[in-house]
Amino acid sequence: MAMASRRALKAVLIDLSGTLHIEDAAVPGAQEALARLRRAPVALKFVTNTTKECKRTLHERLRRLKFDIEEQEIFTSLTAARNLLEQKVVRPLLLVEDSALEDFAGIETSDPNAVVIGLAPDHFNYQMLNKAFRLILDGAPLIAIHKARYYKKKDGLALGPGPFVTGLEYATDTQATVVGKPVKTFFLEALRDLNCSPEEAVMIGDDARDDVGGAQNAGMLGILVKTGKYRAGDEGKINPPPHLTCESFPEAVDHILTHLLDTK
């Protein structure tokens, strides 16, 4: 059967938490599905919004779960922030947790003229926010890893970086540059070294808005998996709807192998 418009698929972007694994357990069949995808002629990248885990930590977890993944195939919101800092040639005040600092190794941070905000409860205090505020008022760009309102901890909800970013935006009458999903540039940056356009790529994730909506807004196809944070009806929350909604990562891989690749 001829499909309406088959694209030449060149790359697959894959979300990590909620898609390949849930905390310390792999999604059933995900390792084997990834191995099958590896045998197909597509480039892979693993993309995630993280504000506190550096790439090395993420990679170690994936290796423990027996996923065949290289560290340099991982692209995170921290990497995106680092790339932006390098592009702008600025010295950041880094309001991120110590565990994330590794991803900024080598970046000059003395005499800061930019502000980067991740999730950093230890840094979100009056003194530090005043310091960030004065820098921004003096013209330093405000870069937000993402703007999540809150997140779930074992002992309940906790404020994310979004509220603090919003407060600084209000006080300084500026807009932060957000670098994480669902921002379009995040997906374009992730694809940059893969030599393909967004129309030649597909994104698989469990977050309808941040993964699928964001990717489709950037010109890619989006596949929503019903694992992780997925809740019934999520696929109806974005417009246009996901290219495909399926049970889990292995099913998404099957779809790609049978419908999106030119297997002549």
Partner 1 sequence: MAEDGWTECVRSLKGVILDMCGVLYDSGAGGGAPIEGSVEAVKRLKASDLQLRFCTNETQATREKFVAKLRRMGFEIDVSEVFSPAPAVVSILKQRGLRPHLLVHDDVLPEFDGVEKSDPSCVVIGDAADNFSYQNMNSAFHVLIGQEKPTLFSMGRGRYYKETDGLKLDVGAYMKALEYACDIEAEVVGKPAPMFFQSVLNDMGVQPQEVLMIGDDLVNDVGGAQQCGMKGLQVRTGKYRPSDERHPTVTADGYVDNLAAAVETILKHRG
Minimum CB distance to partner 1 smaller for 83 or for 133: 133
Tokens of 134: 């004065």
Which of 137, 139, 151, 193 lies at the binding interface for partner 1 (CB under 8 A)? 137
Part of the chain binding partner 1 (CB under 8 A), chosen from 100-108, 120-128, 185-193, 255-263: 120-128
Least distance to partner 1, CB of residue 242, Å: 25
In the region spanning residues 145 to 174, those forming contacts with partner 1, defined by CB under 8 A, are: 149-150, 156-160, 162-164, 166-173
- Pattern 65-104, binding to partner 1, x per CB under 8 A? ----------------------------------------
Largest CA distance in the chain: 64
Least distance to partner 1, CB of residue 132, Å: 9
Minimum CB distance to partner 1 smaller for 87 or for 126: 126
Q: Side by side, which strands form the sheet with 221-225?
A: 74-76, 43-48, 11-15, 201-205, 221-225, 244-246
Which residue matches tokens 């694992």?
A: 227
Least distance to partner 1, CB of residue 167, Å: 4
Minimum CB distance to partner 1 smaller for 43 or for 171: 171
Least distance to partner 1, CB of residue 180, Å: 16
Report if residue 199 touches partner 1, rule: CB under 8 A.
Answer: no
Which of 38, 64, 66, 134 lies at the binding interface for partner 1 (CB under 8 A)? 134
Which of 86, 122, 193, 247 lies at the binding interface for partner 1 (CB under 8 A)? 122
Please tell me the count of residues contacting partner 1 according to CB under 8 A: 29
**Dihedral (C-alpha) 76, 145, 81, 67: value to the nearest 10 degrees?**
-10
- Residues at the contact surface with partner 1, assessed by CB under 8 A: 121-122, 124-127, 129-130, 133-134, 137, 149-150, 156-160, 162-164, 166-173
